[in-house]
Amino acid sequence: MREAHDVSIHLDIPFYRQHFDFTCGPASLMMAMKYLDRTLCLDKNMEIDLWREGNLVALLATSRYGLAYSAAIRGFCVKITSNTGGLDFVDMLVPPLNGPDLQILKDHVSERKSRCRKLGVRERKESVTGETLRTALSLNHVPILITNSSYFSNDNLPHWIAVTGIDEEFLSFNNPSDARPRKRTIALSELPAFVGYHGAQSMVEVWRTIHTE
């Protein structure tokens, strides 16, 4: 009998390319939603709508609470995992936010977090590991993860990706900044460095419950 960690899981998650530098989060969420609801039509209008709902106001980036909120109001089930439980990457920004901009960001994150709670979005504070991802995928949930854009470019910025599968050696994912669909993998041995931005991990797990009469 094969152990659970030896089983390969690969979800047929469609690729969607982000059209703007700041919409990796919306693009990753769109891939997850399209996999779970094939009737959805993905286009720039949806991409911008999701960005409007999920951005951090003081920054162009999208937050875990913003993406979770966007998924929840569209009827998807959502769970957030973070190893910090704090603001999204603010302490790592160069130059750092301060004064009114920092207060706006704090207020906005608090507001999105409150909306998520009212919509039934679950949240847990713990590290995102290979087993965390394997469990999510085995349940047909799509994990959306923060990593560092330096894995794909010369930038050093938070970057959202959509996880598509896992096997004995590799994690597979779609990178929305790719110009065209391509198979992306990272060795499981590299996950501790790959998952998160300078140690701050965020995962938005999206799925849909099938109701039967």
Confidence check: pLDDT of 161 > 70: yes
Confidence check: pLDDT of 96 > 80: no
- For the stretch 18-33, pLDDT in tens is 999 999 999 999 999 9
In the structure, what pLDDT confidence band is assigned to residue 3 with cuts at 50, 70 and 90? Answer: low
Q: What is the dihedral of CA 60, 21, 75, 120, to 10 degrees?
A: -40
Token pair of 72 as six digits: 């929840």
Average pLDDT, the chain: 91
Domain ranges of the chain: 4-207
- For the stretch 127-157, pLDDT in tens is 999 999 999 999 999 999 999 999 999 998 8
**CA separation for the pair 159, 174 (Å, rounded):** 12
- For the stretch 74-86, pLDDT in tens is 999 999 999 988 8
CATH superfamily of this structure's domain 4-207: Cysteine proteinases (3.90.70.10)
Mean pLDDT of the 202-208 span: 97
Token pair of 185 as six digits: 């993998």
Percent of the chain with pLDDT over 70: 92
Confidence check: pLDDT of 91 > 70: no
* Residue 118 · residue 111 · CB < 8 Å: no
Angle between helices 24-36 and 44-54 (to 10 degrees): 120
SS (H, E, C) 53-86: HHECCCCCCECHHHHHHHHHHCCCEEEEEECCCC
Nearest of 162, 146, 131, 25 to residue 83 by alpha carbon: 146
What is the pTM assigned to this prediction? 0.92
In the structure, what pLDDT confidence band is assigned to residue 211 with cuts at 50, 70 and 90? Answer: very low
